[in-house]
Structure 1
Amino acid sequence: MTQLPDVDQLLERMEAGLREVLEHRGVVAPVMIGIRTGGVWLAEQLNERLGLPALLGELDISFYRDDFSRVGLNPKVMPSSLPFDTEGRDIVLIDDVLMSGRTIRAAMNEIFDYGRPSSIILATLVDLGARELPVQPDVTGQVLALAPNQRVKLRGPEPLYLELRETGE
């Protein structure tokens, strides 16, 4: 059985990695956007740990998914909230689990509909490495190798923990 890492330890790694990337790139005033729902929970924690302004963006990428016609609409679709201008901004985009890259592609499409950012730094809690699109995180808590019939999901918001699920494959 796969042992799942502790979310607090992964958040510490993400915080350290983000500090390093921001410093290396000379980014001094980034804004943080979380992808619902797990990415928002993580963004709240990381925003506080990094001491960034309280403004946090939240994306619901349901309408931007490229598999919308196949999987249908999420019954809990909520509007995205970006309480800041994205034009020319340095954005830290946060997601919980990176697998195919399709969620990140959808998130970037939505961000660009609001304006053209100067840069986007991608940080994910877990990278499953099963890419269908050429999307790579700048910062990740941990890379996990799962069996083809396994998936991992972030649960929360209090406490945050990872859950392993078996699919019917």
Structure 2
Amino acid sequence: MVSGNLNVERLLDSITQNLKALMTYRNLEDPLIIGIRTGGVWVAERLHQQLELSSPLGMLDISFYRDDFTRNGLNPKVLPSKLPCATEDRHLILVDDVIMSGRTIRAAMNELFDYGRPASITLVTLIDLQNRELPIQPDVCGDTMTLGPDQQIKLSGPEPLLLEIRQRTR
């Protein structure tokens, strides 16, 4: 079990290096980076800067695409998604802060396909908690870990970007 703060800068540097290698290997020239609101957008902004891409950054708010929408209701902070250019036949890099069940990523891909059929989607996450309910895996991740039943992970930011593992409050 882990606790405390994780070194986000180290994770971002590792992701950037691995993503550059993957982009070269897959010949992904000037892909469109899209962050999932909120934490994924913060991570995507940093990766966009470090990769020095010319395409503008995209942002998704997947609230209406979640499969628990009818159970949980609408988040009062729903914002529109912003995709600055067409996604049809485009290589996309989808970024989220933490992947756990895979349901957030499924919702994001459903929304992306409503905008058009991308050439490819590369999934990038800071942390992989490896607790899947759906068969979705990141292509690049900063670290993998398992949390205890009474632990949670929280990304705060955007400046500074802090990743903290803490005890759940009841």
TM-score bin, normalised by smaller chain: over 0.9
Shift of 1:38: 0.8
8 Å contact 1:128–1:143 — kept in the other structure? yes
Q: Which runs of 5+ in 1 are unaligned?
A: none
Q: State the Cα deviation string for residues 112-148 of structure 1 (Å, max 9, x = none).
A: 0000000000000000001000000000000011102
User: Is this contact kept in 2: 1:93–1:122, CA < 8 A?
Assistant: yes
Q: Which amino acid aligns with 2:124?
A: A
Q: What's 1:56 paired with? A: 57
Q: CA deviation at 1:71?
A: 1.4
**C-alpha contact 2:3 2:166 (8 A) present in aligned 1:** no
Distance, in Å, in 1 between the alignment partners of 2:94 and 2:6 is 22
CA distance in 2, matches of 1:153, 1:72: 22
Matches within 5 A, 1:33-48: 33-48=34-49
The TM-score normalised by the length of structure 1 is 0.96
What does 1:59-138 align with in structure 2 at a 5 Å threshold? 59-138=60-139
Indicate yes or no: 2:152 matched with 1:141.
Answer: no
Equivalent position of 2:9 in the other structure: 8
- Judge conservation of contact 1:64–1:106 (CA < 8 Å) in 2: yes
Percent of paired sites with the same residue: 57
Consecutive unaligned residues of structure 2, counting only runs of 5 or more, are none
Deviation at 1:20, TM superposition (A): 1.1
- Corresponding letter in the other structure for 2:52: G
**Aligned CA-pair RMSD:** 1.3
Q: Which residue of 1 aligns with 2:20?
A: 19
- What's 2:163 paired with? 162
Residues 55/48 of structure 1: CA separation in 2 closer, same or farther (3 Å cut): same
Per-residue CA deviations over 1:47-105 (Å, capped at 9, x if unaligned) read: 11101015110000000000111111111000000011000000000000100000000
Instruction: State the 1:167 CA deviation.
Output: 3.1
Amino acid at match of 1:19: K
What TM-score comes out, normalization by structure 2 length? 0.95
Distance 1:48 1:148 in 2: 35
Bigger CA drift: 133-142 or 64-73? 64-73
User: How far did 1:3 drift?
Assistant: 4.2
Question: Matched residue pairs, number?
Answer: 169
Report if aligned partners of 1:97, 1:153 keep a CA contact under 8 Å in 2: no
- Could you say what secondary structure the match of 2:59 adopts? strand
